Amino acid sequence: MSTSTSMEPLSARIPSDLYLWLAQLQVEGAATNSDKLRVLLGQLKRQHDGAFDYVTALAWCRDLVARLRDSLARLEESQGKHSEVLQQVLEHSCHSMALLISAQPADAAAAAQLENALLRRSFALTEALLRQATTAEANAFDPQVVNKHMPTTLNLAQAILVLKGALHG
């Protein structure tokens, strides 16, 4: 939201279904429809600005998953459980989306930079998940979730090692 202290009036006619939706919408820190519009326009501005800047896009993506983060915090508080796996995937998703949203490669070199950044982030997530597989149980709401999805990845990694060994041996 703008740091300007000046407020300007805004008037618009909207369809009744949108008005009813807005009236029932729960927006944190906004009680009235006017407050809700200010918050929602601020979010729209962050979305628009994020199309031009990675850091702004990342903040916007994190805003989009705020309900999920809050829900996970409540679960952690009430259940005494935390999921590093879910947190890593969530963080990876926000960063990857921010890269995609803010990217506008004008040439092959810029596209290659984007590709490199996305793959660097993807392999960092893979490494984090592989670290979770080094223990009997992953730090996750479902302690076996990593082990359930690991076999195909391990088979592919083994096949790559065999192939690379055959090519270089």
What global pTM score does this model have? Answer: 0.75
Distance CA 155, CA 161 (A): 10
- The residue segments making up the domain with residue 119 are 51-132
| Number of Cβ within a 10 Å radius of residue 58 | 19
- Taking only the tens place, the pLDDT of each residue in 42-99 is 888 877 776 778 998 898 899 889 999 999 999 999 999 999 999 999 999 999 999 9
Task: Say if residue 31 is in the same domain as residue 69.
Answer: no
The residue type found at 149 is H
Q: CB–CB of 73/80 below 8 Å?
A: no
Task: Say if residue 38 is in the same domain as residue 69.
Answer: no
Count up the domains in the chain and report the number.
2
Distance CA 147, CA 150 (A): 5
- Of all residues in the chain, the percent with pLDDT exceeding 70 is 96
Task: Say if residue 95 is in the same domain as residue 125.
Answer: yes
